[in-house]
Copies of this chain bind each other. A is one copy, B any other.
Amino acid sequence: MNVLIVYAHPEPRSLNGSLKDFAVKYLEDAGHAVQVSDLYAMGWKATLDADDRTDKPDGEPFSPGLDSKRAFEQGTQSADIAREQEKLRWADAMILQFPLWWFSMPAILKGWVERVYAYGFAYGVGEHSENHWGDRYGEGSMAGKRAMLAVTAGGWESHYGPRGVNGPIDDLLFPIQHGTLFYPGFEVLPPFVVYHTSHMDADRFAQACGELGQRLDNLWDTPPIAFRPQNAGAYEIPELTLKPDIAPGRSGFAAHIE
């Protein structure tokens, strides 16, 4: 199988760098093909702007959505964007490897999502009708592919627990897992998370690699997070609210998981 690792850490000699290196070797040893988008090493342009379209008419206002759509349709996207989209088409699975900075992705990885996820590629696809609100949340260009987050966090596991001060890790990652992975159609596996990274030693690193190796062994048969598909009957359209008989009385992120 083909695996794309999108990796965002400025220092190769870091825990994240080591985990990325481990994953590449482990997957290759198992016979998979691996490509790595090492965003810092690539000097990835993090900011979405008018330069992302090579034929932008002078003087016209820049629209993040519409200019992305035109450039995608007309083949006038910046070359770095088109290259990453090609890797996504090639991949059977994608792993996003990053340190949790301020409870989300590093800016450089957020900018990868913003720029690579063009209108017409990752959103704004499919028909909008009375029972179908675009190919998204379970449908879309990434349908049939799998995705997993591999995340490191400085805080303790309890700080990210159900009643931990930072908020539960599943909720913190929901905007990424549901909003950027399930949205264009990926099946999203439970995240791989290493906590308390300021106190790593050889034993804990070996343990982390052991756990990550298991997750990679099971990349193809781990049950994905059971996010509810948008167009399969659970949601009113076009309000896109859960129907009254679905998770009755519940609200919040967890209500969107079957």
Contacts and interface: CB of A to CB of B under 8 A. Distances in A.
Interface of A: 10-11, 13-14, 40, 44, 46-50, 61-65, 99, 101-108, 110-111, 113-114, 117, 137, 154-156, 158-159, 161-168, 171-172, 174-175, 178-180, 198, 230, 235, 238-242, 247, 250-256
Contacts of A163: 241-242, 247, 250-251, 255
Nearest to A14: B61
Given A102-B117, A167-B178, 6 more contacts: A11-B63, A48-B107, A107-B107, A159-B241, A167-B174, A168-B253
Contacts of A238: 156
Contact of A172 (B64, B107, B175): B175
A239 B156 contact: yes
A168 to B, nearest CB: 6
A47 B107 CA distance: 6
Given A47-B40, A165-B240, A254 B256 contact: no
Contacts of A11: 50, 61-64
A107 B108 contact: yes
Nearest to A64: B10
Contact of A171 (B137, B171, B198, B242): B171
Nearest to A173: B175
A61 to B, nearest CB: 4
Contacts of A13: 61
